[in-house]
Each structure stands twice: as C-alpha cells, then as structure tokens.
Structure 1
Amino acid sequence: MRFLIIGGSGRTGKLVIDDILKKGHQVTALVRKPTSLEQQPGLDIVKGTPLDVSDVRNAFNLDIPDTVIVTLSAIRATDSPFAAPISPPRMMADSNANVVQIMKEFGVRKIVVLQAYGAGASWDTMPCALRLLMSKSNMIYSYEDHNLAEKEVRNSGLTFVLVRPSRLVETDVTKVKEWPKDGKGVGLMGSASRISVAQFLVNAALEERWDNTAPVITN
C-alpha cells in the first residue's frame, strides 16, 4: 500500500513515515526541503509545497497513493505553541483543499488529517481554562485554520478521519485512549505522545473503524 504524506518533514510526520515503513508499506512525501528527510528504502521524496496544487499533482504523478495523511501544523516564529504564526492564515485549509482537489482527479478516496483537541466540535468540550487560554493567545489562529481545513475535508465527499490529540508531548508512551462525545472529560493536563499519535494516524488510514469521524485522543 502506498501513502502520500503531507507535512512529512515535521516531528510527527517523520514518525508517521517511520511507522508506515516498519509496517511494510511505501511512502511518498511532499516536502519543501528534500534534505529534511533521510533517504530510506520505500520512501520517495518530492520537492514542493501543498500550497501549490501543481506540486501536489506531481506527487500523485510519481505513484498514485492509496490514501493520504496530512500532518501539517502552523509555522511559528519560535518553537513555542504561543508564538506568533508566520505561515499564511489559511495554510492548512488551502493545503487540504489542494490535496482534496487532486485526490478527486486521481480517484483517491481517503484522507487522514492531524488536527488538535479543540478543533471543530471538540472546542465546546475543552476545559474552560483551556478555551480562555487559546482564545486569548496566538493559538486561536491555528484553531481558526483547523476549522477551515475541516470544512474543506468534510465537504469534499471523500472518506476522512480528523484526528484530534490533546497537547502533544515527547514521550515514548504508545497506548491511546479515545474519548467519546468530542472529547468530553479530557482534563486540563491531558496529553498524547507524538509516537502514539503517529501510530494512530497510520492505523486510521489502514482501518475503516474511524472513517468519517473526528476522534479525540490522549494517552
């Protein structure tokens, strides 16, 4: 099975690629800087940006994927999640729109998108303190973009999974807890390790159980 990864040079994206390859599948990664990824057997790297629909088409022309995983996140002035965003306001929305367009051209039917707890309907289930923090900080711009990206994906007619982990952390925990009702009950300090999120994204692409849902996950 072949996957196309959008955002594969990011911290979560690289873990997604590793998990796909370990499972014996193949990957095409569309990245701005090919040198940001290590060459590996089963990995094809295409230079480009998902903000350019012709670059997305080039990635599909290399080898048509069976499914697409998007792990994009807003580019910020520093590594702090509260730093000012320097990417375009609709970076995730426009990227997903371009991917959806080309998926339809090539007859690819499934897309799995990494979002964040608080996107879409899960906003109302977040603890009040978190909602206040996000709404009064630069994080709100990311949530607005996530919400616009959700509309592009949900309205596409494609099969989708919108994965919404709470606060990503750098631990090696792999067990995942899924929260019903859009994450109702997730605590203020809820978190999910990147590696567990990466594995969940791949499993969501391979299996049908999460199709057309937006699971909220923690460890």
Structure 2
Amino acid sequence: MNTIVLATGNAGKIRELSALLAELHPGLRVLGLNDFPEIGEIPETGATFEDNARIKALAVARATGLVAVADDSGLVVDALHGAPGVYSARYSGEGATDEKNVAKLLDAMKDVVDPWRGCHFACVMLAATPGGRELIGHGAWHGRVAHAPQGGAGFGYDPVFFDEELAMTAAQMDAQVKNSRSHRGLALRELLRGWPEFWKQARLKLEK
C-alpha cells in the first residue's frame, strides 16, 4: 500500500511525474500503464481537462485496486480560441505525433504576430481511489507560441512553448527548472497539499 499508478503510457509524462513525486513524496512506488497492459487504451471522451482526468483515474483505480493519478493537459492558444485544448495530443488527426502536432500549430499561427501569440499550458491532475474518492489539483503555465521549434528536451509542444520570463522554450530547460515552473508541477503541488489526508483515508479503506 505504498504504490500508486499513473494513468498514462506516455514515457515522458511518467518520467516527469515520477521525478516530481519522488521530490515531493519520498518512498512512493510509482507504476504506469505499461505495467498493466491488460487495461488497454482508455478513451478520453470528456469535454474538459477535468473530465478526462477523472475518466482515466477512476478506470485505472478500479482495474488495479490501487490509487491512480491521472492528468489531462494541453496547450491553450488565445489566437486559436483555446485550441488545441483537450485535443492537444491528437491535434493533427489520426496518427498524430508530437512533430505533426507542432507543425500543424505553427502553420495555424504563421500569420500571427508576437503580441497575439499568447498561450498557456493547462493541467488538471486527479487522484482517485477504487471506491471513487477524489483529490484534484490545477495548474497553468503562461507563455507564447514560438515561431519555430527550439531545444531538444521535453515532449509534446515543449519546443514551441516560449517562457517569456526565462526567454527560452520548455524544451530548452533542464528538468529541474521545468518542473519548478510547469503546469504539471503546479497541479501536482496543489494536489499534494491535500495528499496527507487523502492518502490516509485511502490506506484505511484499502487495508480493510
């Protein structure tokens, strides 16, 4: 009962979230969906980031009997009326990849000047027990869309997310700097403020 499951098979997310959890909650064993191949793909049919996080966390918690943590996150671009939003991972359609998604975004923004390239990464992180108890954290990281990819770290839209305060993209940051600023880090820190009581109740329930 010192194990949780991250409701994702995305290696980048698992690596990033595992590092954050190790920093903020030492001793916790973190597994991912790759450790439970029988679960399969969980359709993200929600209309909001919170809907999708809840769908994934509850499905994994009930399938494994463990506390599950899911996040749903995406890039929200002002000039695109909030797109790609909840469709960030599949923005370029069937067979979407990070590279194809970034290319489609840059094409959509090709005529947009810097003052109007504002955007933010949004994240909702939700922990759920098999019985349906929930804990939720939110995070937002504001910046603008770069004109071309820069940097080789990170994943997703990181190469074109420009942090104006640090004057670099998310893909140019080392992991420690990124985790201290990112939407996912902020959401996790908010989640963990309520974690002690949530974890206590979860352990009591699961150990009965």
Q: Determine if the TM-score, normalized by the shorter chain, exceeds 0.5.
A: no
For the aligned pair, the TM-score class normalised by the smaller chain equals 0.3 to 0.5
TM-score if structure 1 supplies the norm length?
0.38
TM-score if structure 2 supplies the norm length?
0.39
Greater per-residue helix proportion: 2
